[in-house]
Amino acid sequence: MIDALISFVNENLGVLFVIAIFPGLAFILGFVIFAVWYQRKYLARLMIRMGPVHCGGRMGWLQLIADAMKLVAKELIFPRAANKTLFLFASVVLPVIPAAMIALIPFAPGLIIYDAAGVSLLVFFAISTLFPVVSVIRGWAANNKFTIIGAFRNIYLDIAGEIPVFLASVGVMIWAGTYDLNEIVLKQASMWFIVPQFLGFIVFFIGFLAMIEKVPFDIPTAETELIYGPNTEYSGAMFLNMMEADYINLLAWTLLMITLYFGGYNGPPIFADPVLNGVFWILLKLIIAITIIFTITISYARLRIDQAVKMGWNYLLPLSILNILLTLAMKFYLGGV
């Protein structure tokens, strides 16, 4: 039995490493901890305060571990009127969805959890559509007015944001001539796609902010009116899962943005041959990207849901279609990459 297990591990060492350590489970959880800590420290500086300082020396790096332990140790409270099965189900399933999206992202040549044989971009979007579904389940199951309003706002926002994001990435698909994220990365070795796809990138980025549900698009969880949106009733470890889901979602979409427009694991094109590993570049880009996103969250007010939907349908959708037409024209005259 144990021998079989050992031999199984030995034979599949590479696969297990990818799934469990990097870029799999350990990396994702580590990123969540890092991102929350980084957000708290970075935003604290912008707000003229200190952020966490006590746990783990001066930088407070143990604070998040302490918070997680506190949340896990707390009682799980189920509201009396809630549908307990679905309530628990949603909290367990929700973090898995964005984590499954990360499985399709190439981190270095060959370093990918699941290579979806040429259609990985489409699979990415297919999985991402599950997120609002589970979100509605959690809102409905909690049987609370605030959670239901938040859940429905989640649907509105996803419809307003995901269609422009998808159409913007159609521009990338046309320009690269493939659905495969790995090949899209390889084709950006000489020029990142943000240059030929600049209009598409702007549309993608605004829709992207809606997909990660941060200010100015944190409309479903709007703290000032809906407390914590669909997550209001969650407590203890279930609340921790919801926080994780938010940040894994942020990680998944940021990685997609880097892969589509900023060359994935490629170094900057001015370095003729990459000196450093592909993983270094993608992590560097990731940190720069989340810094920019966190800065945006603190500099703007939240949009109303009607303004967000109007922005999605009235401006982003026509722009993304225009972008597709432009890309087709460019491809026709310039020949693409």
Partner 1 sequence: MTTPIKRYSPFGEIEEVGEGLFRLNVGPQHPISGQGRFIVLTDGERVFDIEVDIGYSHRGIEKILEYKTFVQGIVPVERMVMLDTSNILMGYVGAIEKVMDIEPPPRANYIRTIIMEMNRIVSHLYALGLLSESAAWNPAVFLWTTADREPFLDLLEMLTGARWSYSFFVPGGVRADIPRGFIERLKATLDWFEKRIEVYEEAWIYNELFRMRTEGMGVVSRQNAIEWGLAGPNLRASGVPYDTRKNEPYAAYGELDFKIVTHTAGDSYARGWARVEEMKVSIDIIRQAIDNMPDGPVRVRMPPRPKPGEALFRVETGRGEMNVYIVSDGKEKPYRIKISPASFRNFYTIEMLPKTQEILLADVPVLIYSFDPWFLDADR
Interacting residues toward partner 1 by CB under 8 A? 43, 46-49, 145-146, 148-149, 152, 215-216, 218-219, 222-225, 227, 297-307
Cα distances (angstroms) measured from residue 159 to each of 254, 293, 313, 317, 326: 19, 21, 9, 11, 24
- Cβ proximity to partner 1, 166 vs 217, nearer residue: 217
CA-based torsion, 171, 177, 181, 187: positive or negative: negative
- Cβ proximity to partner 1, 153 vs 285, nearer residue: 153
- Cβ proximity to partner 1, 217 vs 265, nearer residue: 217
- Cβ proximity to partner 1, 84 vs 304, nearer residue: 304
CB atoms within 10 A of CB 77: 12
Which of 79, 300, 85, 335 is CA-nearest to residue 206? 300
- Cβ proximity to partner 1, 227 vs 330, nearer residue: 227
CB of 153 to partner 1, least distance (A): 8
CB of 199 to partner 1, least distance (A): 20
CB of 73 to partner 1, least distance (A): 23
Bridge partner list, 111: 108
What angle (nearest 5°) sits at the alpha carbon of residue 248, between those of residues 242 and 250? 110
CB of 304 to partner 1, least distance (A): 4
CB of 223 to partner 1, least distance (A): 5
C-alpha 232/C-alpha 223 separation (Å) is 10
